[in-house]
Amino acid sequence: MDRSHPVTRPVAARYAGTRVPRIEDSRLLTGSGTFVDDVQRPGMLHACFVRSPFAHATINGIDTAAALALPGVHAVFTAADINPDVRESWHAVAGKDVPDTPRPPLAEGEVKFVGDPVAIVVANSRRLAEDAVDLVDVDYTQLPAVADFRKAIGGAEAGVPVVHEAYPDNVAGGMGGMPPDEEVFATSAYVVQERIYQQMYVPVPMETRGIVVEWVASTSELTIWGSTQTPHELRAFAARLLGIPAQGVRVIVRDTGGGFGQKVVPMREDMSVMLAARKVSGPLKWIEDRRENLMSAGQSRHVDGTVRMAFDADGKILAADIDFVQDIGAYPTPYPVLTTAAIGMFFPGPYRVPKSSFNYKTVFSNTPGLHAYRGPWQYETLTREMLLDIAARKIGMDPAELRRINILRGDEMPFFNPNGMPYDNCAPADTFEQAVKILDLEGFRKEQAEALAQGRYIGLGFSAYIEPTGAATGNLATEGATIRMESTGKINVYVNGGSSGNSIETTVVQLTADVLGANINDVATIQGDTAVTPYGAGTQGSRSAPMTAGAVNEAGTILRDQIVAIAAQMLGADADAIELSDSRAVVRDDPDKSVSFADIAYRSYYDPAQLGGVSPTLEATARFNSQAMIHWANATHACTCEVDTVTGQVTLTRYIVSEDVGPMINPNVVEGQVAGGTVQGIGGALLEHLAYDDAGNPIASTFVDYLLPTATEVPPIEFGHVEIPGPGVGGYKGAGEGGAIGSPPAVINAINDALAPLGVTVTRMPATPATIIELIEQASSGGRERSDSGITTGKDR
């Protein structure tokens, strides 16, 4: 392994690496958390949106008179009222110079999907606002809609509706890497090709979107309470949107009941509430209900593509190619063209792939806009891992052995994948072999053969991936922290993020206690308030652990030196002789000479004249700059299942994750993150489907139709850990997205392994009982009709 990267001033770890109980749990488990809907302000008003019932229609007129006549209704705003107030509307994750796709706060002239916000009603209560929404009379002329993004390409020339006039072919953009090496595909011993479709499904956070906006005209101050993953970006976005100084905007985030990418950037409803808040008499609250969330918060995944791989006679990968289209809906947030490139760039995965090519298009449709979801590039892992299993069976090799032949080892690092991704500080082969060992592969294959002899169909699926975490691009490259010793000797650490489920609230306290030599009970954290916390890019891109660790280390190192300087003066010792532990400063060679943090703080705050010229400062702020480091995390998932071939029911029997996120700050937190993502991926593989009919009408807008996994569908998750340090402070890597990336292909591969004796291969998600039964019936009546799939060998050509 290459260990040439510099590591910033390591400190002794007393708490990092231990299973410290989560600090936030006592608050959350007793119902004492503070979410946006818990925020109450004097004179607060409530907003509700008038939404389009059509997937595509012209807005001929909006009659608000009946709604305004309802007692308790303060205002009804349309696009003509608030859209002209927009000053700037761009997101830091994309940058201000990127040519973005359309995103008006309220629909202008046309509605583009069912649920498109047309007007915003402001009333004394949510109930009244909802009643008033029903009284707003919108005159629509329904237009043809295109809900299937695969049919949308070409637009008017292809005889299909155009979603946005500025994009007459319905293509927002695309990109191609190196063209495929067709000679390799033509001459290789084995070539495997599949068309794989991933359905639309969504994050479904427990807390839906919500925002409270309070505008004080007399002081030109705007305060926002938000359910967001990025408080400082919400603040900057609000200032840009409204054209007001950023110092006049304060964002407060307490608890966020899940985000998973959906709450990274402000969306159109957030924009509308911000704009409307300056036009009403009191603070304005909007809380999304579940139906709105499923109809309008956006869509995720939804990709269709053809993937192929070429192998030599021994099973070594020679080339890989992916050609796909992604549905971006009507109003994607943010700019989707560049972010979709990650699917192509990461397609080679954790394998020794000499040649790789990709090509893609992002396509508008009359459905909600694409948004981020935990591992937005996950389709690359889904398709690659499914293809490897299919190839192994047709080559006549166990899928585990095919991976073993091709997976990258630690002694090969650094390694550049053929698309230029610089892998380092990882060993995917290690997590793979650990998962195989935990599983007992040989024992399972024996059990599988015995089950088949009894007429039972059980299967095993593997999935391996590698992902960049804490990648230093754009505004994601830095993270700030402020650490202060208060007058009592207790420590407060200020970081930007709120409590959104990733438990930074606990891990930042562990890290701060270590860097200062403090007892953990003497450390607390303040988060999510832009008035007091330094700038940070928030919870996104699996960045919190490596970036926060860097920020805490830099600020903590400065404060540590300040504490040592004061302690040395008080103890009459050289600074080099002082060490900090147990919230005390001790002379290293004379332990009887010590002073507590409380005494140091008292001297600094209340008796600074006795410091003899030493600065009384006990506070430090620092911005960590990761200098373009990428922390490559990786994992192998292994899933076993049993498929009932009469009902199509899939029962997961074991689930194993072996992951490398570097040294773990808190194993409980890491395992919680991996488990949560894994369960979301299981839901995506088996159950969840944000479905639309051909006219663009949503047919899964409640939990009756949009099915989520419960404890009955998920077996206990078994964990294995490989800890290869990354290049940053502490060697920590990100852990937030991996579970959701690795689990869908592991589950699908297990199903396909179970059904292989029947000649069945699932290539269209989700793998519902109806889908499975249909495939079994097709196979039993003469095989699948799959003109776009198959395998060829040298002798076939």
Q: Which of 660, 627, 674, 635 is CA-nearest to residue 731?
A: 660
If you average pLDDT over residues 704-726, what whole number do you get? Answer: 96
pLDDT at 338: 84
If you average pLDDT over residues 497-521, what whole number do you get? Answer: 93
Min mean pLDDT across 244-253, 493-502, 658-667 is at: 493-502
Sign of torsion, CA 85 91 92 98?
negative
pLDDT at 541: 87
How big, in percent rounded to 5, are the helix, strand and coil portions of the chain?
35, 25, 40
Q: Is the pLDDT of residue 792 over 60?
A: no
* Identity of the amino acid at 277: A
Q: What is the DSSP letter of 435?
A: H
Three-state SS at 784: coil
Task: List, for residues 436-481, the tens digit of each pLDDT value.
Answer: 999 999 999 999 999 999 999 999 999 999 999 987 777 788 899 9
Q: Is the pLDDT of residue 163 over 60?
A: yes
If you average pLDDT over residues 323-351, what whole number do you get? Answer: 95
Task: List, for residues 86-130, the tens digit of each pLDDT value.
Answer: 999 999 988 898 889 999 999 999 999 999 999 999 999 999 999
Q: Is the pLDDT of residue 83 over 80?
A: yes
Residue 384's pLDDT band (boundaries 50, 70, 90)? very high
Contact 469, 677 (CB under 8 A): no
String of DSSP letters for 315-374? S-EEEEEEEEEEEEESS-SS-HHHHHHHHHHHTTTTB--S-EEEEEEEEE-SSPPB---S
Residue 527 backbone dihedrals phi, psi, to 5 degrees: -135, 160
Q: Which of 381, 300, 281 is CA-nearest to residue 42?
A: 281
* Domains contained in the chain, CATH given: 39-143+206-258+263-296 (3.90.1170.50), 300-470+629-782 (3.30.365.10), 473-625 (3.30.365.10)
Give the CA dihedral 451, 452, 457, 463, nearest 10 degrees.
90
Sign of torsion, CA 571 573 574 578?
negative
Contact 18, 666 (CB under 8 A): yes
Rounded distance, CA 380 to CA 376, Å? 10
Q: Which of 16, 1, 3 is CA-nearest to residue 511?
A: 16
Rounded distance, CA 508 to CA 503, Å? 9
Q: Is the pLDDT of residue 324 over 70?
A: yes
Rounded distance, CA 563 to CA 559, Å? 6
Task: List, for residues 657-702, the tens digit of each pLDDT value.
Answer: 999 999 999 999 999 999 999 999 999 999 999 999 999 999 999 9
String of DSSP letters for 438-497? HHTHHHHHHHHHHHHHTT-EEEEEEEEEEEEES---GGGGEEEEEEEE-TTS-EEEEES-
Residue 11's pLDDT band (boundaries 50, 70, 90)? low
Q: Is the pLDDT of residue 789 over 60?
A: no
Q: What is the DSSP letter of 255?
A: B
Burial class (CB in 10 A: 0-12, 13-18, 19+), 269: buried
Q: Which of 213, 206, 251, 255 is CA-nearest to residue 232?
A: 251
Q: Which residue has the tokens 């409270």?
A: 212
Bridge partner residues of 465 (DSSP): 635
If you average pLDDT over residues 158-169, what whole number do you get? Answer: 97
Q: List CB contacts of 492: < 8 A, sequence separation 6 or more.
A: 483, 484, 486, 523, 524, 525, 526
Residue 78's pLDDT band (boundaries 50, 70, 90)? very high
Rounded distance, CA 481 to CA 485, Å? 13
Residue 794's pLDDT band (boundaries 50, 70, 90)? very low
If you average pLDDT over residues 355-359, what whole number do you get? Answer: 97
Contact 649, 712 (CB under 8 A): no
pLDDT at 93: 87
Q: Report how far apart, in Å, the C-alpha atoms of 74 and of each of 47, 68, 124, 354 are.
A: 10, 7, 8, 64
Contact 391, 405 (CB under 8 A): no
Q: What is the DSSP letter of 793?
A: E
Contact 481, 551 (CB under 8 A): yes
If you average pLDDT over residues 764-770, what whole number do you get? Answer: 98
pLDDT at 474: 76
Kind plus residue range of the DSSP H or E element containing 638: strand 631-643
Q: Which of 115, 114, 116, 166 is CA-nearest to residue 145?
A: 114
Contact 333, 103 (CB under 8 A): yes
Rounded distance, CA 484 to CA 622, Å? 12
pLDDT at 477: 85
* Identity of the amino acid at 315: G
Q: Is the pLDDT of residue 788 over 80?
A: no
String of DSSP letters for 511-576? HHHHHHT--GGGEEEEESBTTTSPPB--S-TT-HHHHHHHHHHHHHHHHHHHHHHHHHHHHT--GG
String of DSSP letters for 53-89? SSSSEEEEEEE-HHHHHSTTEEEEEEHHHHGGG----
pLDDT at 253: 96
Q: Report how far apart, in Å, the C-alpha atoms of 222 and of each of 269, 332, 343, 497 are.
A: 17, 27, 39, 20
Q: Is the pLDDT of residue 7 over 70?
A: no
Burial class (CB in 10 A: 0-12, 13-18, 19+), 314: exposed
Q: Which of 167, 74, 160, 192 is CA-nearest to residue 123?
A: 74
The 10 Å Cβ neighbour count of residue 464 is 29
- What tokens appear for 670 in the block? 């890491």
Residue 252 backbone dihedrals phi, psi, to 5 degrees: -120, 125
- What tokens appear for 336 in the block? 């989707």
Q: Is the pLDDT of residue 27 over 80?
A: yes
Q: What is the mean pLDDT of the chain?
A: 94
Q: List CB contacts of 666: < 8 A, sequence separation 6 or more.
A: 16, 17, 18, 19, 20, 503, 506, 507, 510
Contact 715, 652 (CB under 8 A): yes
pLDDT at 629: 79
If you average pLDDT over residues 162-167, what whole number do you get? Answer: 97
Q: List CB contacts of 376: < 8 A, sequence separation 6 or more.
A: 261, 300, 339, 342
Percent of residues, the chain, with pLDDT higher than 70: 96
> Which letter, b or e, does each residue of 176-203 get, where b requires 16 or more Cβ atoms within 10 Å of its Cβ?
ebeebbeebbeebbbbbbbbbebbbbbb
Contact 273, 83 (CB under 8 A): no
Q: List CB contacts of 731: < 8 A, sequence separation 6 or more.
A: 7, 425, 662, 663, 723, 724, 725
Rounded distance, CA 797 to CA 191, Å? 11
pLDDT at 70: 98
Task: List, for residues 47-63, the tens digit of each pLDDT value.
Answer: 999 999 999 999 999 99
